[in-house]
Amino acid sequence: MAAIRPRSTVSAWQPSVPGIAEVFHARFTDHAYPTHVHDTWALMILDGGRVDFALDRERHGVGLRNSVILLPPGVAHDGRTVTEAGFRKRVLYLDTSVLPEGLTGAAVDAPLLLDPALRERVHGLHVALGAPELPAGAVERLEAESRLAFVRERLHRWLAGRAPTAYGAPGAVLAVRLRELLDARVTEGIGLEEASAELGHVHPTHLIRSFKAAYGLPPHAYLTGRRVELARRLLLAGMRPAQAATAAGFYDQAHLTRHFGRHVGTSPARFARSGRV
């Protein structure tokens, strides 16, 4: 009996993260892309199978391993499955605010980046961006922007042929100033670029590294913890979980519940009831 091929599936959405035009997840078993171009960068990782593609009329083949595929804007390419099992991929379409078009030539010369650390960073960014069924506002904006900053840094290292710019040792004073900024914006939150501008246009990755060196966790994790602490106080004061969620800066009750369970070990509703026993 012939093996049953897995069904092809596609999910695509636009996250509320500057620089990311689209997130695209797909499983293809027999699809072949015609030759085409994008006006964005396509940053792809494979989760299974193999893919073959031509970029600027030169063919490349890639399997799982630790490769990251980067296709530049404005350059013709195609893509097709190699085996009957097809392939699974996750793609981020990045605009030129993340990578300038001036790096196109370097990407054409080497579209396959064998870099396990970069692949892990891209995977972490996909996780932070969530799933298509989540409302755009439910994305952990500070986390996603922070992870994108580190992906961008590593891509620049590959394409520009140089190590990341040295910004000096992590700054304790800078970390304190960022913490004060986060404490003042617990409910409304703050984006990474906005925080950078507020603190004197500090490079985003230097800002994140300084904070983590001082406090042992990245800024987005600190902000989430502060929101959970605020939600705890509101719940014990008698506020309903749905109201406490938005009052503490979460998108909705489900968003609060996901983080509350990790931090407190129980649901917001059960936590609230425990104070009335």
First to last CA, the chain: 62
Query: In degrees to the nearest 10, what's the CA dihedral of 240, 242, 243, 247?
Result: 130
Q: Kindly tell me the burial class for residue 252, based on how many C-beta atoms sit within 10 Å of its own C-beta (0-12, 13-18, 19 or more).
A: middle
User: What is the DSSP code (8-state) at residue 225?
Assistant: H
Please give the Cα distance from 229 to 131 (Å, whole number).
Answer: 26
For 81-91, give one letter per residue: b (16+ CB within 10 A) or e. Answer: beeeebbbbbb
Q: Can you give the pTM of this predicted structure?
A: 0.87
Q: Picking from 76-85, 186-195, 256-265, which range would have the lowest pLDDT averaged per residue?
A: 76-85
Stretch 89-107: mean pLDDT: 94
Q: Is residue 155 within 8 Å of residue 215, measured between CB atoms?
A: no
Q: Which tokens go with 154? A: 């590593």
Q: Residue 276 above 70 pLDDT?
A: no
- Sign of the C-alpha dihedral computed for residues 143, 138, 72 and 95 taken in this order: negative
pLDDT at res. 229? 96
Neighbours of 123 (CB within 10 A): 15
Structure tokens at 165: 């710019």
1 in helix, strand or coil? coil
Residue 168's pLDDT band (cuts 50, 70, 90):
low
pLDDT score, position 50: 86
The band of 1, judged by pLDDT with boundaries at 50, 70 and 90, is very low
What number is the average pLDDT over the span 176-187?
96
β-partners of residue 24 are 12, 91
Per-residue confidence band for 262, with pLDDT thresholds at 50, 70 and 90: very high
- Mean per-residue pLDDT over the chain, rounded: 88
Tokens of 259: 């983080």
